[in-house]
Chain A
């Protein structure tokens, strides 16, 4: 079983729509969680950390469910510039584990 699993998508949504997707992780002792954004053939950049109580950053909301071992990302009022691959990242033991990413395409 992979340490971090994501639905690859793609999620194809119109501008202004809401899109949400999850990521599951296998290690129940995982310590911290993140969403990174990666544009095509570029470096990943931190979008937001995910806290136990859930957190928002503008149009982005992240949730953590430790009991079911998943994190989620919701994007409200999607913009064309939100088109990217979103990587779920989990820290456990000594290292970060990356999911393969969920691709979101926002169309005009």
Chain B
């Protein structure tokens, strides 16, 4: 079955450590996104990519980095510069970045700081 796979489901980060969240899709979608969800807040866009080897910053990109070397993969690295990384991270994809395109989400990664 087609879908988006995020891993791991839970991740713990130590002070000063970089961690990478995996996101893989087999839907053949061009557009991929990373969102952060904090309690009581809406999803906030971290980074997005419309095509391989290209990506743009979203609203809260500081302290994060991404790559898009393959169409199906869009990993997110939470760097030590992100001082408040504890949150639920959601990866999503769509056929294209267009007004009426449905977003498909992965099941999320809960990141916590040790």
Contact = CB atoms under 8 A, between A and B. Distances in A.
A41 B110 contact: yes
Contact of A98 (B42, B48, B106): B42
A21 to B, nearest CB: 15
Interface range for A: 20 to 34
Contacts, number: 46
A35 to B, nearest CB: 12
Nearest to A100: B42
Contacts of B102: 46
Given A43-B90, A87-B42, A100-B41, A94 B105 contact: no
Interface in B63-85: none
A44 interface: yes
Interface of B: 35, 40-45, 48, 58, 88, 90, 97, 99-100, 102-103, 105-108, 110
B42 A31 contact: no
A7 to B, nearest CB: 13
Interface of A: 2, 4, 8, 31-32, 36, 41-46, 49, 87, 91, 94-101
Given A8-B40, A31-B99, A43 B48 contact: no
Contacts of A44: 43, 90, 103, 105
Contacts of A4: 42
A43 B40 contact: no
A42 to B, nearest CB: 7
A73 to B, nearest CB: 16
A96 B107 contact: no
Contact of B42 (A32, A95, A99): A99
A46 B107 CA distance: 14
B42 A42 contact: no
18 contacts: A4-B42, A8-B40, A36-B103, A41-B88, A42-B108, A43-B108, A44-B43, A44-B103, A46-B102, A49-B100, A87-B43, A94-B97, A95-B45, A96-B103, A98-B43, A100-B41, A100-B42, A101-B42
